[in-house]
Amino acid sequence: MRKFFVVVTLAAMAVLGAMSAKQAQAQTQYPDVRGLTPFSQAANYMSLPGYLRYRYLLESGRWISREEAEEAVRQQGAPTGTS
């Protein structure tokens, strides 16, 4: 009986952890790159998705994927700087 409660408790913790991680990811605030020109001095000579990834790393200590950065740039309405 005790093993059952341990298993149920661990399963509940895993479910709650997964739910809170998705919620935190949905509320992520990315650096604003609107108004920057890709590969300009203001963008540190990077593409806008690359610059967004770099700035996000400095602010959060976590790398995001290139795809995630491109999507964030698209949502901001800024040019991606890629062909």
Residue 49 · residue 69 · CB < 8 Å: yes
Report pTM: 0.63
Terminal-residue alpha carbon distance, the chain: 61
Tens-digit pLDDT profile for residues 12-57: 787 777 665 554 554 579 999 999 999 999 999 999 999 999 999 9
Residue with tokens 């997964």: 18
Task: State how far Cα 68 lies from the chain centre.
Answer: 6
How far apart, in whole angstroms, are the C-alpha atoms of residue 38 and residue 10?
47
Higher-confidence position of 76 and 24: 76
Q: Between residues 28 and 63, which one has the greater pLDDT?
A: 63
Retrieve residue 52's tokens: 């967004």
Q: What is the pLDDT averaged over residues 60-83?
A: 87
Asked if 77 contacts 46 with a C-beta cutoff of 8 angstroms, the reply is no
pLDDT at 74: 95
